Amino acid sequence: MRALHLIGLRTATGEKLRLYPADSSPLFLPSWLIESDREILLAFYQQILAEDTLRRVEIEWYRSIVDADRQFLRNLRERHGADELVVVVKVRRADVDLNDVLAQPELQGFQHVAIASDFPVANETLGKLGEIALLVSLTAEEIYEEMVRELGLRDDGIALVEPLVQTLLNPILIIETYNALLDVHAENVAREQQRDAIYLRILGRLLDTMPGSDVVGLVALALRGEEGLSEAIEEPEQRAHVLASLRDRMLVRDRQIIRWGKWLSEEFMRELLRGRVQRLARPETRPTHGARRVVEWLDPARRDSAEDRLRPDVAAVFQWISEGQFGRARTELQALQSHLDEPGVTVETRVYYCLAAALVHVREGRWAEAEPLLREALRLQEEVDLPAAVRGVILESLARGLRDNGRWAEAEPLFQETLQLHRQASPSGQRLEMTRRAYAQGLRQHGRSEEAAHLEPDENILDGGKKP
């Protein structure tokens, strides 16, 4: 299934995407967009303003435009006219007023101006960014509707993600939301769990772009409101700084969470928030203000992890895997590998490390590397008292890999043991249904369709309907 990409994005009929601006206001890219996203959005802006991609010229702003750049802009205006270039001003210092930048006569001579700021500025205006976000959202909807007709995807997919998309001002994340919608189809995520899986992936990426203090403040507000923020971040000056930063990010208004932050208070977000805040409260580093207290709210029964400092990092890898960030997971696992034999690292942590590394290898098509890691995880798991569900996940991963690599005789007994473990853990759980589907697929591949039919759940029942 093809992924959508912002750069080179075209309409559902293959036509070049064009922006017809409502006015001549500049495109402003705020500091809360990470620098790499600002660069991608500038390139996209150049692409959609005309039939051919416009040339970009850049100048930097510290206290003003330097005289040499002023003359440079005047010369460009004389040679190329007002509408053949995109002039980008990069704001490199704090305490700048956007109106002061736009008042420069050398900039007013150009039709297409973009401001990319490294710091919050006064009088920010996001109207043009909102226009681009709407254009990208509508285009993604059209493409998805076409894929529904071609590939039989769920016809309510747009309605599923629209509440999140409407809160996003970053067109890149709008595209990623639709890619996540396509991914949950390809990964056979249960229909009733697809919405949460998509939101977790996108909201996790948003949290990863924020400073730790902002994450703690936002989570505290989501869990316990303004009182929780005061309790978590006791120093008034630090608390005021966090609130100001969250307002700049357009996530808080009148000390109430707005936009995409409103989903952080929902129950399905707890595990993601726990992983993010636990990393900020790690004992071997200077913890982010309030992080340890917020961790206690998220997980009151949490065992102090001071004796095993690698555990939070390994837990974070599973979160990235669940969000589809496999490149990031791989990089973190490589960094952690050299620390596995350090004092204090438990066998339990080694089990989870092996499982996480194997899952990344499987996803990237490297079964030869994944299999020994899964077998090592099984061996280590027998040395410690871990929940049966953990053994079930390891066994199922191994069984699926063996099935997909032509070793059905080895895979089948592992599927059978996995089914037994999942039945004991949760007789009506989704994990059990996923395992039954995977086992049935193997049976069908080996000419045992009747046995497979007895394993596969009825689709109408799973979707809340009735058998015909």
Task: Give per-residue pLDDT as tens, 58-103.
Answer: 999 998 999 999 999 999 988 888 888 999 999 998 899 999 999 9
DSSP secondary structure string, 371-414?
HHHHHHHHHHHTTS---HHHHHHHHHHHHHHHHHTT-HHHHHHH
| Per-residue pLDDT at 14 | 92
The yes-or-no verdict on residue 125 having pLDDT over 80 is yes
Q: Is position 5 within any domain?
A: no
Task: Examine the domain organization and report whether 440 and 328 are in the same domain.
Answer: yes
More confident residue, 123 or 465: 123
Mark whether 226 and 278 lie in a shared domain.
yes
Residues 240 and 274 in one domain: yes
pLDDT of residue 305 exceeding 80: no
CATH number, domain at 419?
A: 1.25.40.10
Give the confidence band of 382 by pLDDT, cuts at 50, 70, 90: confident
Tell how strand 85-91 and strand 256-257 pair up: unpaired
Q: Of 206, 237, 254, which closes a domain?
A: 206
* pTM of the model as a whole: 0.67
List the domain range (segments joined by +) for residue 111: 27-124
Q: Is the pLDDT of residue 29 over 90?
A: yes
Looking at the structure, do residues 368 and 449 belong to the same domain, yes or no? yes
Q: Which of 146, 180, 206 is the last residue of a domain?
A: 206
The Cα–Cα gap between 90 and 218 comes to 28
- Asked if the structure places residue 267 within a domain, the reply is yes
Exposed, middle or buried by CB within 10 Å (0-12, 13-18, 19+), for 187? Answer: exposed
Report how far residue 87's alpha carbon sits from residue 29's, in angstroms, rounded to the nearest whole number.
13
Task: Report the number of distinct structural domains present in the chain.
Answer: 4
Based on the domain organization, do 337 and 428 belong to the same domain? yes
pLDDT band at 57 (very low <50, low <70, confident <90, very high): very high
| pLDDT at residue 219 tops 60 | yes
318 and 453 assigned to the same domain: yes
pLDDT digits (tens, 9 = 90+) for 319-357: 778 777 777 788 888 888 888 888 778 889 999 999 999
> What average pLDDT does this structure show over 351-371?
90
Q: What is the DSSP string of 426-465?
A: -TT-HHHHHHHHHHHHHHHHTT-HHHHHHHSPPHHHHTT-
Last residue of a domain, one of 159, 182, 206: 206
Task: Give all strands (DSSP E) within 54-127, no chain letters.
Answer: 55-61, 85-91, 112-117
pLDDT(306) > 70 = no
If one compares 467 and 30, the residue with the highest pLDDT of the two is 30
More confident residue, 7 or 342: 7
Is 22 part of a structural domain of the chain?
A: no
User: Are residues 443 and 326 part of one domain?
Assistant: yes
Spatial distance between the Cα atoms of 135 and 141, rounded to a whole number of angstroms = 10
Same domain? 456 vs 318: yes
Residues 57 and 120 in one domain: yes
Task: For residue 464, name the pLDDT band (cuts at 50, 70, 90).
Answer: very low
Measured between its terminal Cα atoms, the distance across the chain in Å is 31
Does the residue 72 lie in any domain? yes
Pairing of strands 55-61, 112-117: unpaired
Residue 13 domain-assigned?
no
Weakest mean pLDDT among 40-44, 78-82, 158-162, 416-420: 78-82
**pLDDT at residue number 102:** 94
In sequence order, the 6+-apart residues with CB closer than 8 A to the CB of 247 are 253
pLDDT tens, 148-177?
Answer: 998 888 999 999 999 999 999 999 999 999
User: Do β-strands 252-253 and 112-117 pair in parallel, antiparallel, or remain unpaired?
Assistant: unpaired
Q: In the chain, pLDDT over 70 holds for what percent of residues?
A: 92
Tens-place pLDDT, residues 236-247: 999 999 999 999
Does the pLDDT at position 313 exceed 90? no
In angstroms, the CA 390 to CA 382 distance is 11
156 and 175 belong to one structural domain: yes
Distance separating alpha carbons of residues 169 and 134, to the nearest angstrom: 9
Q: Does residue 271 carry a pLDDT above 80?
A: yes
Residue 315: the pLDDT is 84
- In a domain? residue 402: yes
Of 304-313, 382-391, 423-432, the poorest mean pLDDT is in 304-313
Tell me whether residue 1 is in a domain. no
DSSP assigned state of 344? T
Q: Where are the beta strands (DSSP E) in 261-419?
A: none
Enter the tokens of residue 13: 């009929």
174 and 140 Cβ atoms separated by less than 8 Å: yes
User: Other CB atoms closer than 10 Å to residue 129's CB: what's the count?
Assistant: 21
Whether 374 is covered by a domain: the verdict is yes
Cβ-contact 322, 360 below 8 angstroms:
no
Rounded to an integer, the average pLDDT of 282-306 is 62
> How many residues comprise the chain?
468
**pLDDT on residue 293:** 76
Output phi, psi for 180, to 5 deg. Answer: -65, -35
Query: Which residue type occupies 444?
Result: R
Looking at the structure, do residues 330 and 442 belong to the same domain, yes or no? yes
Residue 367 sits in the same domain as residue 412: yes
Helix (H/G/I), strand (E/B), else coil: 67: helix
